[in-house]
Structure 1
Amino acid sequence: MSTLSSDAVTTAELDPATYEPLLDQVEIAVLASGADPQWSLTERSDGLSVLHVEATGEPVEIRLSVPLGDAAGYWHPQAGWRRTLLADWEGRARVSLVDGLATGCLYDHTGATMLAFSAADPVPEVQLRFGVSEENDTYVVHMTLPASPGPHRILFVPRSESVATAMRALRGWYAATTPAMPVPESARLPVYSTWYAFNQQVDAEAVEAQARLAARLGCGVLILDDGWQRLGSGRGYAGCGDWLPDTDKFPDFAGHVARVKATGLRYMAWIAPLLLGPAAGCYAQWAPSAPAPARAPGAYVLDPRRPEVRRHIVEMCTALVRDHGLDGLKVDFIDEAMVYAGDGGGDIGHALTALLTDLRTALETVRPELLLELRQPYVGPGMAAYGNMLRSFDCPADATANRVRTIDTSLLAVGGTVHSDMLLWDPSAPLEAAVRQLIGAFHSVPQLSVRLDSLPPEQLDALGFWLGQWRRLRPQLLDGRVEPGRPDDLYSLVESSADGVSVVSVHSERAVSLRPTAFEETVLVNASDVDRLVVDVQDPGAVVDIDVHAPNGRMIDRGRIDLSPGLHSLPVPRMGLAVVRRSS
Structure 2
Amino acid sequence: MSVTTAGLAPAPTEHLLDDVRLAVLTKGAPARWSLEPQSDGTSDSTSDGTEVLEVRADDDLEIRLSVPLGDAVGFWHPDAGWERTVVADWAGQARVSLVQGAVAGCLYDNAGASMLAFAALDPVPETTMRFGVSEENKTFVVHLHVPAGRSPYRIAFARRSPSVAAAMRVLRRGLGEGQAGAPEGARLPVYSTWYGFSQAVEDAAVAEEARLAAELGCGVIILDDGWQELGNGRGYQGLGDWQPDTTKFPDFAGHVARVQGYGLKYLAWVAPLLLGPEARCYAELSQYAPQPGWAPGAQVLDPRRPEVRAHVVDLCARLVADYGLDGLKIDFLDQTMVYAGRPGPGCDVPDVGTAMLLMLSDLVAAVEAVRPGALIELRQPYVGPGMAPFGSMLRADDCPADAVANRVRTIDVGLLAIRGVVHADMLMWDPSAPAHAAARQLIGALHAVPQISARLGELPDEHRRTVAFWLRRWQELRPLLLDGEVEPGRPDELYPVVSAALGDECVISVTSDRVVTVGAFRKVTVVNGTSSGRLVLDVARDGLSVSETRAADGSMIVPTAGTLRPGLCSLDVPPSGLAVLEVRV
TM-score range, shorter chain: over 0.9
Partner of 2:218: 219
The CA distance in 2 between the partners of 1:60 and 1:141, in whole Å, is 14
Deviation per residue, 1:473-529 (Å, 9 max, x gap)? 0000000000000000101100001132100000111111112xx322100000112
The CA distance in 2 between the partners of 1:272 and 1:466, in whole Å, is 32
How far apart are residue 393 of structure 1 and its match? 0.1
Asked whether the 8 Å contact 1:374–1:391 carries over to 2, the reply is yes
Partner of 1:18: 12
The CA distance in 2 between the partners of 1:186 and 1:42, in whole Å, is 39
Of residues 490, 496, 503 in structure 1, which corresponds to 2:500?
Answer: 496
Of residues 21, 37, 43 in structure 2, which corresponds to 1:43?
Answer: 37
How far apart are residue 59 of structure 1 and its match? 1.3
- Partner secondary structure for residue 426 of structure 2: strand
Say if 1:149 and 1:454 are closer, same or farther in 2 by CA, change over 3 A: closer
* Superposition map of 1:330-341 within 5 A: 330-341=329-340
Give structure 1 stretches of 5+ with no counterpart. Answer: none
How far apart are residue 184 of structure 1 and its match? 2.2
Partner of 1:406: 410
Partner of 1:528: 530
Partner of 2:136: 135
Partner of 1:315: 314
How far apart are residue 295 of structure 1 and its match? 1.3
- Partner secondary structure for residue 413 of structure 2: helix
The answer on 1:448 being equivalent to 2:452 is yes
Segment of structure 1 superposing worse, 554-563 or 274-283: 554-563
Partner of 1:305: 304
The CA distance in 2 between the partners of 1:396 and 1:560, in whole Å, is 37
The CA distance in 1 between the partners of 2:307 and 2:374, in whole Å, is 24
Structure 1 stretches of 4+ with a deviation exceeding 4 A read: none
The answer on 1:581 being equivalent to 2:582 is yes
- Partner secondary structure for residue 310 of structure 2: helix
The CA distance in 2 between the partners of 1:35 and 1:185, in whole Å, is 50
* Superposition map of 1:54-93 within 5 A: 54-55=56-57, 57-93=58-94
The answer on 1:109 being equivalent to 2:110 is yes
Partner of 2:171: 170
Asked whether the 8 Å contact 1:543–1:560 carries over to 2, the reply is no
The CA distance in 2 between the partners of 1:144 and 1:166, in whole Å, is 24
The CA distance in 2 between the partners of 1:39 and 1:387, in whole Å, is 33
Asked whether the 8 Å contact 2:25–2:62 carries over to 1, the reply is yes
The answer on 1:427 being equivalent to 2:431 is yes
Aligned partner letter, 1:561: G
Deviation per residue, 1:300-359 (Å, 9 max, x gap)? 111111111111111111111111111110000011111110013300111101110111
Deviation per residue, 1:415-454 (Å, 9 max, x gap)? 1110000000000011111110000000000000000001
Partner of 1:483: 487
Deviation per residue, 1:202-227 (Å, 9 max, x gap)? 10011011001000000000000000
How far apart are residue 561 of structure 1 and its match? 2.4
Partner of 2:278: 279
- RMSD over aligned Cα, in angstroms? 1.1
Partner of 1:27: 21
How far apart are residue 187 of structure 1 and its match? 1.2
* Superposition map of 1:363-442 within 5 A: 363-442=367-446
How far apart are residue 545 of structure 1 and its match? 4.0
Partner of 1:52: 54
The CA distance in 2 between the partners of 1:488 and 1:168, in whole Å, is 19
Partner of 1:470: 474
The CA distance in 2 between the partners of 1:543 and 1:134, in whole Å, is 50
Aligned partner letter, 1:290: A
Asked whether the 8 Å contact 2:48–2:174 carries over to 1, the reply is no
Partner of 1:568: 569
Asked whether the 8 Å contact 1:546–1:559 carries over to 2, the reply is no
The CA distance in 1 between the partners of 2:545 and 2:561, in whole Å, is 6
Aligned partner letter, 1:64: L
Asked whether the 8 Å contact 1:545–1:583 carries over to 2, the reply is no
Of residues 352, 355, 358 in structure 1, which corresponds to 2:362?
Answer: 358
* Superposition map of 1:183-222 within 5 A: 183-222=182-221
- Partner secondary structure for residue 108 of structure 2: strand
The CA distance in 2 between the partners of 1:543 and 1:46, in whole Å, is 36
The CA distance in 2 between the partners of 1:476 and 1:282, in whole Å, is 48
Asked whether the 8 Å contact 2:546–2:579 carries over to 1, the reply is no
Aligned partner letter, 2:372: P
- Partner secondary structure for residue 52 of structure 1: strand
How far apart are residue 558 of structure 1 and its match? 4.0
- Partner secondary structure for residue 526 of structure 2: strand
- Partner secondary structure for residue 66 of structure 1: strand
How far apart are residue 563 of structure 1 and its match? 2.0
The CA distance in 2 between the partners of 1:433 and 1:241, in whole Å, is 39
Deviation per residue, 1:273-299 (Å, 9 max, x gap)? 000000000000011011111211100
- Partner secondary structure for residue 437 of structure 1: helix
Aligned partner letter, 1:376: Q
How far apart are residue 183 of structure 1 and its match? 2.4
Asked whether the 8 Å contact 2:327–2:376 carries over to 1, the reply is yes
Identity %: 60
Aligned partner letter, 1:470: W
TM-score scaled by structure 2? 0.96
How far apart are residue 149 of structure 1 and its match? 5.2
TM-score scaled by structure 1? 0.97
Aligned partner letter, 1:185: E
The CA distance in 1 between the partners of 2:566 and 2:316, in whole Å, is 59
Partner of 1:293: 292
Asked whether the 8 Å contact 1:59–1:147 carries over to 2, the reply is yes
The CA distance in 2 between the partners of 1:229 and 1:390, in whole Å, is 24
The CA distance in 2 between the partners of 1:29 and 1:252, in whole Å, is 62
How far apart are residue 185 of structure 1 and its match? 1.5
How far apart are residue 200 of structure 1 and its match? 0.3
- How many residues in Structure 1 have an aligned counterpart in Structure 2? 572
The CA distance in 1 between the partners of 2:119 and 2:327, in whole Å, is 31
Segment of structure 1 superposing worse, 303-312 or 83-92: 303-312
